[in-house]
């Protein structure tokens, strides 16, 4: 499965750009020698799809300067520093530029009335200021910055139907094979259109690359680029020292990228049959491009201000650009995307925030999506260097827990304790932070970059960063926190009383509770959820001494209540992460009752403690019975009943709650078994709720490798079909009794024994017996095995539209409906092909 995620993680994708400009009078697609294009005029391509003219970037921001205000907030319009000559989509109401000529030299308001685009006497394409009082017009931009045009050339500028602006000899009309003297496709800005290349000429060294713009109103050279380097590696990287490549696709593997990208495009109805990606690697060049197969569609591929590549498709139905794919899918992967002294969290909006004791260096720039300036200290550090290479300082350290540590640490070997590490940092006036983890002292000098906060959707980092603050800022922060704590205590006390009162009233009324209710609405059909005291849970679990298991969010312990009821107590670690999973679990499973869902008995939220109390599952989780050699073998009938039970649990989540619950992390580890091996779906910490009025929800990446639907890795909105895909993968493991994807990696080749591919192949061949777990020794129902195989193969189809809903799955497993043999998913076929090629 690692190969699947390596391939999916390497999608070449892109981001949209919106602008505003003046209305312009349309002309032909050609600017001939002696003609001029001025303000209020535009060239239009022969197919009417693209236009070229002068425009100004504009963006609306809240008048208060607070970007968190509601859409109804009064806004003001911020304009770009000047005017630009560029190309945009001509027929789309959301004006979207795809190329800018003078991105580093805007035309001022006083110059714009005099600005003209002309073919000069020597055949050069130029922007001039045609001032009647001046004998020699000023040249503001010229293609001779990039290429020398023969002075005897008689040329024209043509806006092609592809959006490419080309300077061609007038003799080209009689000989179309003559190459342009210059074309905008060779000098792209931040956007790649169909037919434009990103790549490198091996003979001349000429490189075509996309460079992000600086902000929403400033198209000048931004912080990130996409290119193919001299070694043939496709990469996204920062443009400022130290030139970090934060996303790459290795040399020699770009052919695999094409096959996988083709499969992914074909599985999405918005791009099916629409695009054809192409990779070229010969003696002359190495390049990547894509072809548009339907000229009536509009697509563009930019690198965004935040360094992401996105594939955008125009939706006529919604009259908006839709981002089909995005890489990297997590904003925080991009190097220094939030600037210095910030914390990035891809699960929040906005995803950048200042560290404690710091404020935005330029709030205006942040409003325009340019956050690379980061944050600045509210109060300078109090540090005076001395002649003894030490310093006197009253500064203090503030911890930031569960973060990835900043870029470029310096290790201090002599510091063997945390106290030594902190002292060494204080004695150095340039030291801004330290960390002491796993007996290693790390220090940072100057700006702190790439501090990313765990968003609760992956493995929780145990690293703690200690940021250096002036004592005055620290004391002010402590005082504010105390005030907030008092308010929280008062509010919590009042709120808890209100919760209990409402629970009592609802219990008396015996209302049916819904799955998306808030904490004060929680009650199951069998009685109210219990609010436990922390001390009582300590006694019940013998001070958390018998650990049943755990994961990224914390640990689970066995306990016994006073009435001898055996319980499982999940203790959520880390105040922030614990709070997030606590709310997710309570809001999704706190009010629902189903035989195939684990029952939440109660909770504890005293102080910073967050604990959830569940019914105890004596037979543990499904993975222990399938994959561990020391566990008793589950017979086929038990496995089949587990499959049906999990399907019914998912059907209830998707169809029977007021809001659809998407579990987002279905895997054997999250399927618990009671004393009778009845399956219970557990661990709702990643769950997402979707209103019945919506079919999709846009959420951050979550789940477990090996069970992730392809759309997770595309950065697009998801549906309940992501659970269907994961369920299909679990069915495969129930059949075989092993993990789906054992593999051996040798050098640059993968020898993949990918079980889902085997299942589909065997299903088509009519030979399923070899797929079944040999531990069953042939004791299984072949008709049920075939039924499960067909269901599993339909569940893991690339396109979520082709996957069945869970009500269909339940009917098939119950024998009330039949599925035909499904096709091989294109993505699996591509992976199989790549594996076969690499093993030759």
Number of domains the chain is built from: 4
Q: Are the C-beta atoms of residues 614 and 584 closer than 8 Å to each other? A: no
CB 397 within 8 A of CB 422: yes
Q: Would you report the helix, strand and coil content of the chain in percent, each value rounded to 5? A: 25, 30, 45
The enclosing domain of 159 has a CATH number of 2.90.10.10
Regarding whether 631 and 600 lie in a shared domain, the answer is no
pLDDT at 731: 96
What CATH number is given to the structural domain containing 579?
3.30.200.20
CA distance 710 to 800: 9
* Same domain, yes or no: 158 and 56: yes
Same domain? For 659 and 743 the reply is yes
Residue 254 within any structural domain of the chain: no
Residue after which a domain boundary falls, among 616, 645, 663: 616
- Cα(465)–Cα(357) distance, rounded to whole angstroms? 14
Is 327 a domain residue? no
Same domain, 792 and 744: yes
What is the pLDDT at residue 587? 58
- Measured between alpha carbons, how far is 767 from 782 in angstroms, rounded to an integer? 10
Ranked by mean pLDDT, the top range of 401-410, 635-644, 818-827, 830-839 is: 635-644
> How far, in Å, CA of 523 to CA of 111, rounded?
69
Region 451-464 average pLDDT: 66
Helix (H, G, I), strand (E, B) or coil at 826: helix
Domain with residue 688: its CATH number is: 1.10.510.10
What pLDDT does 21 receive? 45
**Residue 347: Cβ within 10 Å count:** 18
Question: Based on the number of CB atoms within 10 Å of its own CB, is 508 exposed (0-12), middle (13-18) or buried (19 or more)?
Answer: exposed
- Is the domain of 190 the same as that of 278? yes
- Asked if residue 662 and residue 600 are part of one domain, the reply reads no
From the list 777, 778, 775, 743, the residue with the least C-alpha distance to 757 is: 743
How many CA atoms are closer than 13 Å to the CA of 559, on its beta-carbon side? 29
Eight-state DSSP code of residue 303: B
Domain extent, residue 483, equals 476-616
Of 61-75, 224-238, 268-282, give the range with the top mean pLDDT: 224-238
Does residue 839 have a pLDDT over 80?
no
Residue 461: predicted pLDDT: 66
Residue 244, domain member (yes or no): no
**Res 808: pLDDT:** 94
pLDDT confidence of residue 108: 93
Q: Parallel, antiparallel, or unpaired for β 342-344 and 75-79? A: unpaired
- For residue 344, the model assigns a pLDDT of 92
- Name which of 140-149, 696-705, 759-768, 780-789 the model is least confident about: 696-705
Task: Determine, yes or no, domain membership for 147.
Answer: yes
Report if residue 370 sits inside a domain.
yes
> Could you tell me which residue, 729 or 548, shows the higher pLDDT?
729
Residue 651 CA to residue 126 CA, distance in Å, equals 64
Whether the per-residue pLDDT at 568 is higher than 50: the answer is yes
pLDDT tens-digit profile of 263-298? 667 767 788 888 888 888 889 999 999 999 998 999
Question: Does the pLDDT value for residue 67 go beyond 80?
Answer: no
Q: How confident is the model over 750-795, as pLDDT tens digits? A: 334 578 888 988 888 888 988 999 999 999 999 999 999 999 999 9
Residue 165: closest CA among 43, 312, 3 = 43
pLDDT value for 388? 57
More confident residue, 301 or 525: 301
* Positive or negative torsion for Cα 539, 544, 545, 549: positive
- Same domain? 464 vs 537: no
**Which pLDDT value is given to residue 135?**
64
Of the listed ranges 143-147, 240-244, 621-625, 693-697, the least confidently predicted one is 693-697
Segment 178-189 shows an average pLDDT of: 91
| Non-local CB neighbours of 318 within 8 Å, separated by 6+ positions | none
Q: Which residue has the higher pLDDT, 679 or 711?
A: 679
**Annotated binding-site members for ATP:** 570
The mean pLDDT of 719-725, rounded to a whole number, is 92
Which candidate in 665, 723, 773, 798 is catalytic? 665
| 529 and 446 both lie in a single domain | no
Looking at the domain assignment, is residue 373 inside a domain? yes
* DSSP per position, 742-780: -EEEETTEEEE--HHHHHHHHHHHT--GGGS-GGGTT-S
Q: Report CA 614 to chain centroid distance, whole Å.
A: 32
The pLDDT confidence band at residue 697, using thresholds 50, 70 and 90, is low
The predicted model gives 143-159 an average pLDDT of 68
**Is the pLDDT reported for residue 506 higher than 50?**
no
Q: What is the mean pLDDT of residues 295-304?
A: 93
User: Two tokens at 398?
Assistant: 């503030």
How do beta strands 41-44 and 50-55 pair?
A: antiparallel
Beta carbons of 587 and 600 less than 8 angstroms apart: no
Active site residue 665: yes
* 419 and 494 fall within a common domain: no
The pLDDT of residue 399 is: 92
Does 766 map to a domain?
Answer: yes
Number of neighbouring beta carbons within 10 Å of residue 722:
26
> Of the candidates 788, 765, 758, which has an alpha carbon nearest to the alpha carbon of residue 647?
788
In a shared domain, residues 312 and 445: no
Distance between CA 295 and CA 274 in Å, rounded? 9
Same domain, 155 and 113: yes
Q: With residue 208 as reference, give the H or E element that holds it.
A: strand 207-208
Q: Are residues 602 and 704 in the same domain?
A: no
- Out of 318, 353, 381, a domain closes at 318
Confidence of residue 89 (pLDDT cuts 50, 70, 90): very high
Calculate the CA 141 to chain-centre distance: 38
Output 480 or 554, whichever has higher pLDDT.
Answer: 554
Q: Which residue has the higher pLDDT, 346 or 561?
A: 561
Cis before 242? omega within 30: yes
The pLDDT of residue 700 is: 56
**pLDDT of amino acid 401:** 87
pLDDT at residue number 105: 93
Average pLDDT value for residue range 564-577: 75
pLDDT, average across residues 668-674? 93
Q: State the pLDDT at residue 170.
A: 78
Length of the chain counted residue by residue: 840
Strand pairing of 25-26 and 41-44?
A: parallel
Asked whether residue 272 is domain-assigned, the answer is: yes
At residue 337, the pLDDT reads: 94
Reduced 3-state DSSP string for 473-532: HHHHHHHHHHHHHHHHHHHHHHHHHHHHHHHHHHHHHCCCCCCCCCHHHCEECCEECEEC
**Least confidently predicted of 301-305, 476-480, 696-700:** 696-700
pLDDT at residue 324 above 60? yes
The stretches of 207-282 forming alpha helices (DSSP H) are 254-267
Average pLDDT over residues 789-804: 91
Quick one: what percent of the chain has pLDDT higher than 70? 75
Q: Which of 581, 601, 616 is the last residue of a domain?
A: 616
């Amino acid at each position: 499965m690692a190969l699947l995620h390596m391939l999916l993680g390497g999608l070449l994708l892109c981001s949209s750009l919106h602008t505003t400009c003046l209305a312009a009078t349309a002309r032909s697609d050609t600017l001939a020698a002696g003609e001029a294009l001025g303000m209020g005029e535009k060239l239009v391509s022969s197919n009417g799809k693209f236009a070229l003219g002068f425009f100004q970037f504009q963006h609306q921001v809240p008048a208060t300067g607070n970007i968190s205000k509601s859409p109804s907030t009064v806004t003001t319009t911020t304009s770009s520093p000047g005017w630009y000559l560029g190309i945009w989509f001509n027929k789309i109401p959301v004006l979207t530029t795809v190329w800018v000529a003078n991105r580093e030299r805007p035309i001022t308001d006083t110059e714009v009335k005099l600005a003209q685009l002309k073919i000069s006497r020597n055949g050069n394409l130029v922007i001039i200021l045609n001032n009647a009082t001046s004998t020699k017009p000023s040249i503001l931009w010229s293609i001779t910055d990039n290429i020398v045009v023969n002075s005897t050339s008689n040329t024209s500028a043509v806006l092609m139907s592809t959006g490419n602006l080309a300077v061609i000899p007038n003799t080209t009309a009689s000989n179309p094979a003559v190459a342009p003297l210059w074309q905008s496709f060779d000098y792209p800005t931040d956007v790649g259109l169909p037919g434009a290349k990103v790549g490198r000429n091996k003979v001349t060294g000429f490189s075509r690359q996309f460079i992000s713009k600086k902000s929403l109103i400033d198209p000048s050279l931004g912080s990130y680029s996409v290119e193919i380097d001299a070694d043939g590696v496709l990469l996204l990287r920062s443009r400022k020292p130290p030139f970090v490549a934060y996303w790459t696709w290795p040399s020699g593997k770009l052919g695999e990228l094409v096959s996988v990208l083709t499969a992914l495009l074909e599985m999405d109805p918005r791009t099916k049959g629409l695009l054809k990606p192409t990779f070229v690697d010969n003696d002359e060049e190495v390049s990547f491009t894509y072809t548009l197969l339907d000229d009536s569609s509009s697509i563009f591929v930019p690198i965004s201000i935040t360094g992401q590549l996105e594939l955008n498709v125009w939706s006529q139905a919604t009259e908006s650009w839709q981002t089909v794919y995005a890489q990297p899918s997590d904003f925080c992967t991009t190097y220094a995307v939030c600037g210095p002294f910030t914390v990035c969290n891809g699960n929040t909006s906005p995803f950048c925030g200042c560290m404690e004791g710091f404020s935005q260096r330029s709030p205006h720039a942040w409003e325009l999506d340019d956050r690379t300036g980061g944050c600045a200290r509210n109060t300078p550090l109090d540090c005076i260097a001395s002649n003894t290479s030490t310093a006197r300082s009253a500064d203090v350290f503030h911890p930031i827990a569960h973060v990835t540590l900043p870029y470029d640490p310096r290790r201090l070997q002599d510091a063997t304790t945390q106290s030594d590490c902190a002292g060494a940092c204080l004695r150095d006036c340039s030291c801004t932070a330290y960390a002491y983890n796993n007996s290693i002292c790390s220090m940072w000098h100057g700006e702190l970059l790439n501090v990313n906060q765990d968003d609760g959707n992956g493995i929780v980092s145990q690293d703690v960063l200690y940021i250096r603050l002036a004592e005055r800022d620290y004391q002010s922060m402590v005082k504010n926190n105390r005030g907030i704590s008092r308010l929280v205590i008062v509010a919590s006390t009042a709120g808890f009383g209100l919760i209990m009162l409402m629970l009592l009233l609802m219990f008396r009324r015996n209302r049916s509770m819904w799955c998306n209710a808030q904490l004060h609405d929680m009650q199951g059909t069998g009685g109210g959820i219990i609010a436990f005291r922390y001390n009582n849970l300590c006694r019940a679990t013998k001070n958390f001494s018998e650990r049943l298991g755990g994961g990224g969010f914390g640990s689970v312990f066995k306990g016994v209540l006073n009435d001898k009821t055996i319980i499982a107590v999940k203790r959520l670690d880390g105040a922030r992460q614990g709070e997030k999973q606590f709310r997710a679990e309570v809001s999704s499973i706190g009010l629902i009752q189903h035989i195939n869902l684990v029952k939440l008995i109660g909770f504890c939220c005293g102080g910073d403690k967050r604990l959830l109390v569940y019914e105890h599952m004596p037979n543990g989780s499904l993975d222990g019975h399938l994959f561990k050699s020391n566990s008793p073998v589950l017979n086929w009938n038990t496995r089949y009943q587990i499959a049906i039970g999990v399907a019914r649990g998912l059907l209830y989540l998707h169809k029977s709650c007021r809001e659809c619950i998407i579990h987002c992390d279905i895997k054997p580890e999250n399927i618990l078994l009671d004393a009778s091996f009845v399956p219970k779906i557990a661990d709702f910490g990643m769950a997402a709720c979707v209103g019945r009025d919506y079919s999709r929800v846009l959420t951050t990446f979550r789940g477990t490798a090996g069970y992730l639907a392809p759309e997770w890795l595309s950065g697009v909105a998801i549906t309940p079909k992501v659970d269907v895909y994961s369920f299909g993968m679990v069915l495969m493991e129930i059949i075989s009794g092993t993990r789906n994807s054992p593999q051996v990696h040798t050098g640059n080749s993968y020898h993949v024994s990918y079980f889902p591919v085997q299942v589909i192949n065997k299903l088509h061949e009519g030979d399923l017996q070899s797929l079944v777990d040999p531990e069953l020794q042939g004791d299984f129902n072949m008709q049920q095995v075939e039924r499960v195989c067909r269901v599993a193969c339909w569940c893991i189809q690339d396109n979520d539209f082709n996957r069945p809903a869970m009500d269909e799955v339940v009917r098939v497993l119950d024998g009330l409906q039949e599925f035909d043999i499904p096709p091989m998913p294109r993505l699996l076929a591509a992976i199989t092909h790549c594996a076969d090629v690499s093993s030759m």
